[in-house]
Amino acid sequence: MEAIIIARSKFSLSALIARIVSYIVLISWTLITILPLFWMTYSSLKSNEELTRNIYAFPHDLFDNGDDEYIVIAPQLNVIPDYDIKKDTRERLIIESATISPGRRLMVYFLVKEDLPPELAALEPGDRLSTAQLPPPMRRMISWKTMTFNYRSAFVRGGLGFKFLNSVIYAGVSTFFIVLLGLMIAFGIAKMPFKKLSLFVMGLVGLGYLISQQSVLIPLYLVMSSLGLTDTHLGIIIVYTAFGLPLSVLLASQFMKGLPDSLIESAYIDGASTFRAFLSIIAPMCVPVMITIGIISALGIWNEFLLVLVLASTDITKSLPVGVYSFSSLTSTQLGWQLAALVIATLPAMIVYFSFQKQLARGVVGGAIKG
């Protein structure tokens, strides 16, 4: 009797320590993960000047823009109208921000003179004005554009909208084939005869996992070049699929080996063809590993940079990481834009991640095995 009581109290103490340690580890992990991301997100809403002044402060300048100072400038080489000058011939007053990227022609507005009060329309280059002096519609437009300065610049200059679409296509199509072909090969290896051959295939495909992308970069480019597949969506998808197969086959075959053969035997006895057995019985049971492979593959492709940099040359085929990287140069002068681009690239992955978490957390397991 006493022995059991002592054993139980010992159990509680060590369990308590274990729990405390677990909490410490998990909470620190969370902080290390979240804090930098939090910084990145709120900093992407700051202007470059703000970031240079104080890199940790909360955003202010871009939002408190009711009274921003602007300078009137004359038309110049690097002042690019945002309207078609041939079609729209109304006279414009060109103003540039005096506080946000002054002098770089990045924050320039072309105000139609007709819509301005006469004293403003008569201003000469060099004069200053404040946004508070402008008519409300203009003030609101400028205010909105100021707040979204970093994100608009990132999207427009980096062509991120289109690159986003490309990333979705690459990740989606490649992952689909990685899962499909991976499961097929795994099924052949794990559940069908010809074990010697399977071992060979497994080794062959597994070997591919050991190959880093840098080492095959040049010859891969040569192969794709000779097939005429460089700078095409199809070529990039083929490459991603091929590189994603080893991991897929590895994980899926290990999972399938754990599934009892009895199920398939009974299916065969019932007269089902191999293909039927695969589709109706095995595939549904593999959903957990399909999700795992799917997420890992899609994620790897979404964030992949080197292969797509080399294989894609025109904006039509470039994907999001390349677009994001174009804001990260060593001598970059627009940290705000870079952070905005990083957020744009990270946000979708986060959204997908948080949506799929429920699937993973609930542990989707095919109904057939339990009990």
Partner 1 sequence: MKLRERRALGVYLAFILPGVLLYLLVVAYPVVYSVALSLSDYNPNRGGDWNFVGLLQFKTMLSDPNFYHALRNNMIVVAVSVFGQIPIGFILAYILYRRMVKGGDFFQIMVFLPHFLSTIVIGTMWKRMFQADGPVSRLIQIFSGDPSAQFDLMLHADTVMYPIGFALIWMYTGLYMIIFLANLQKINDSLIEAAKIDGATEPQIFLKVIVPILSGTILVSAVLAIAGSLKGFDLIFALTTQGLQRNNAMVLPIFMYQTAFQNYSNPMRYAYGSAISNAIVIISVALIMASNFISRKLGVGEETY
Partner 2 sequence: MKKLVRATLIFGMLILMAGLVFTGCQKEEAAQGKVVVDVMAYGDNSNQEGVNWVRIVDAFEAANPGIDIQYELLYDEAYHQKVVARLTSGDVPDVAYMGADARWGAPWMEASQQWDHTPHLDAMYDKSLIPPHGPNGEIYEIPLGTSNITTVLFMNEKLVKELGLSAPKTYEDLKAMVPAAKKAGVDVITIDGADGWAWGSCVLSSFIARTSGDPQWVSKAVAGENKFTDKAFVDALTIIDMLVKDGIIPAKSVLVDYGSNVSNFSNGKALFMIQGQWAAGGIENPEVADNTILLAWPKLPFEKAATAGTVAAAPSVGYGVTKKGASDPAVRDAGLALINYFYSEAESTQRLRDGAIVAPILKNYQVPSDLPLIVKRKVELAQSAGTTEVIDSYLTGAPNDALNEGMQKIVSGQATPAEIAAKVEELARK
Of residues 93 and 324, the one with the C-beta less far from partner 1: 324
Q: Residue 327 interacts with partner 2 (CB under 8 A)?
A: yes
How many residues of this chain interact with partner 1, rule: CB under 8 A? 95
Out of partner 2, partner 1, none, what residue 85 binds, judged by CB under 5 to 8 A for its kind, is none
User: In the bound complex, what is the minimum distance in angstroms from residue 9's beta carbon to partner 2?
Assistant: 46
How many whole angstroms separate alpha carbon 233 and alpha carbon 224?
12
Looking at the chain, list the stretches that DSSP marks H as alpha helix, in order from N- to C-terminal side: 2-43, 48-53, 118-121, 136-147, 149-158, 160-191, 195-209, 213-227, 233-257, 261-269, 274-276, 283-285, 287-303, 306-311, 320-325, 335-362
Q: Are 248 and 181 in contact (CB under 8 A)?
A: yes
Out of partner 1, partner 2, none, what residue 169 binds, judged by CB under 5 to 8 A for its kind, is partner 2
Q: Residue 213 interacts with partner 2 (CB under 8 A)?
A: no
Q: Going by C-beta distance under 8 Å and a sequence separation of 6 or more, which residues neighbour residue 74?
A: 94, 125
Selection from 321, 351, 318 nearest residue 162 by Cα: 318
Selection from 313, 292, 281, 219 nearest residue 250 by Cα: 292
Residues 296 to 325 in contact with partner 2, rule: CB under 8 A: 306, 309-310, 313-314, 316-317, 322, 325
How many whole angstroms separate alpha carbon 305 and alpha carbon 57?
31
Greatest Cα pair distance, the chain, in angstroms, is 99
Q: Residue 167 interacts with partner 1 (CB under 8 A)?
A: no
How many whole angstroms separate alpha carbon 102 and alpha carbon 67?
16
How many residues of this chain interact with partner 2, rule: CB under 8 A? 56
**DSSP class per residue in 130-173:** EGGGS-HHHHHHHHHHHHTHHHHHHHHHHTHHHHHHHHHHHHHH
Selection from 231, 225, 243, 250 nearest residue 174 by Cα: 243
Region of 6-14, 34-42, 244-252, 331-339 interacting with partner 2 (CB under 8 A)? 331-339
**DSSP class per residue in 178-228:** HHHHHHHHHHHHHHSS-HHHHHHHHHHHHHHHT--HHHHHHHHHHHHHHHT
Q: Residue 356 interacts with partner 2 (CB under 8 A)?
A: no
Residues 99 to 158 in contact with partner 2, rule: CB under 8 A: 102-104, 106, 154, 157-158
Per-residue interface string for the shown chain with partner 2, residues 13-52, x marking contact by CB under 8 A: -----------------------------------xx--x
Residues 40 to 79 in contact with partner 1, rule: CB under 8 A: 40, 55
Q: Residue 294 interacts with partner 1 (CB under 8 A)?
A: no
The binder of partner 2 chosen from 120, 335, 344, 345 (CB under 8 A): 335
Of residues 94 and 324, the one with the C-beta less far from partner 1: 324
Q: Are 291 and 359 in contact (CB under 8 A)?
A: yes
Of residues 138 and 245, the one with the C-beta less far from partner 2: 245
Of residues 110 and 235, the one with the C-beta less far from partner 1: 235
Residues 182 to 241 in contact with partner 1, rule: CB under 8 A: 182, 184-185, 187-189, 192-194, 197, 201, 204-216, 218-220, 222-223, 238-239, 241
Look at residue 69 and give its three-state secondary structure. strand
Out of partner 1, partner 2, none, what residue 141 binds, judged by CB under 5 to 8 A for its kind, is none
Q: Residue 254 interacts with partner 2 (CB under 8 A)?
A: no
User: In the bound complex, what is the minimum distance in angstroms from residue 37's beta carbon to partner 1?
Assistant: 8
User: In the bound complex, what is the minimum distance in angstroms from residue 275's beta carbon to partner 1?
Assistant: 8
How many whole angstroms separate alpha carbon 316 and alpha carbon 363?
39
Q: Are 233 and 317 in contact (CB under 8 A)?
A: yes
Region of 87-95, 101-109, 126-134, 341-349 interacting with partner 1 (CB under 8 A)? 341-349
| Footprint of partner 2 (CB under 8 A) | 48-49, 52-53, 77-78, 80, 102-104, 106, 154, 157-158, 168-169, 172-173, 176, 217-218, 221-222, 225, 230-234, 237, 283-284, 287, 306, 309-310, 313-314, 316-317, 322, 325-335, 337-338, 366-367
